[in-house]
Amino acid sequence: MNTVINESTIELVRGDITNERVDAIVNAANSGLRGGGGVDGAIHRAGGGEIMAECRKIGGCPPGQAVITTAGGLAASKVIHTVGPVWRGGSSGEPETLANAYRNSLALAMENGLASVAFPSISTGVYGYPIDKAARVALGTVIDFLKEHTEISLVRFVLFSDADLHAYETVLGELIQTEQE
């Protein structure tokens, strides 16, 4: 599913983000930037030790912030590491932190002249954020960002399961509908 905001495209696809040939893929990292399971582990395994070496030098990244490293052996040019919130029921600032993670990742891409960015579904794995709620924050934040900044030409969400892709498609359909009313 695709949609256009100003001159930029938002794409929803099912896939493995480590195969993405874009300017930057985003990693759902932890605040110690130490690697781990899920998409984080997959990116470090596929990209090689250079990524971890740069992460060690950077040292850490608080929730909602983003940092950038080489993409090592991956097809992408750079990896942007961002840290989403751990879900604690929704009233501990989770939506704001998740929105910041998307916004700061896109801002960092822009600062580095990177025009195509692929995101996984941040926080919806080990961090436990409900997928429908996360999709609303993710897509709403990206749409708002692309309305204000034309430098990013493509944002692709790479969802790891059919169920996740379907959840994102439903929310994007609703958000576009609301925009048109």
Q: Which residues are catalytic?
A: 40
Is there a contact between 23 and 106 (Cβ–Cβ < 8 Å)? no
DSSP letters, 60-115, are ---TT-EEEEE-TTSSSSEEEEE-PPPPSSS-SSHHHHHHHHHHHHHHHHHHTT--
What's the burial of 177, exposed, middle or buried (CB within 10 Å: 0-12/13-18/19+)? exposed
Q: How far is the CB of 100 from ligand ADP (least distance, A)?
A: 14
Q: Does 84 bind ligand ADP (CB under 6 A)?
A: yes
Size of the site for ligand ADP (CB under 6 A): 20
Q: How far is the CB of 110 from ligand ADP (least distance, A)?
A: 22
Q: Which is nearer to ligand ADP, 108 or 122 (CB)?
A: 122
Q: How far is the CB of 123 from ligand ADP (least distance, A)?
A: 4
Q: Does 13 bind ligand ADP (CB under 6 A)?
A: no
Q: Which is nearer to ligand ADP, 94 or 164 (CB)?
A: 164
Contact set for ligand ADP, span 15-44 (CB under 6 A): 16-18, 28, 38-40, 42
Q: Does 63 bind ligand ADP (CB under 6 A)?
A: no
Site string for ligand ADP, 120-149 (x = CB under 6 A): xxxxxxxx----------------------
How far from 1 is each of 7, 14, 103, 160, CA to CA, in Å?
17, 10, 22, 15
What's the rounded Cα separation, in Å, for the pair 20 and 165? Answer: 16
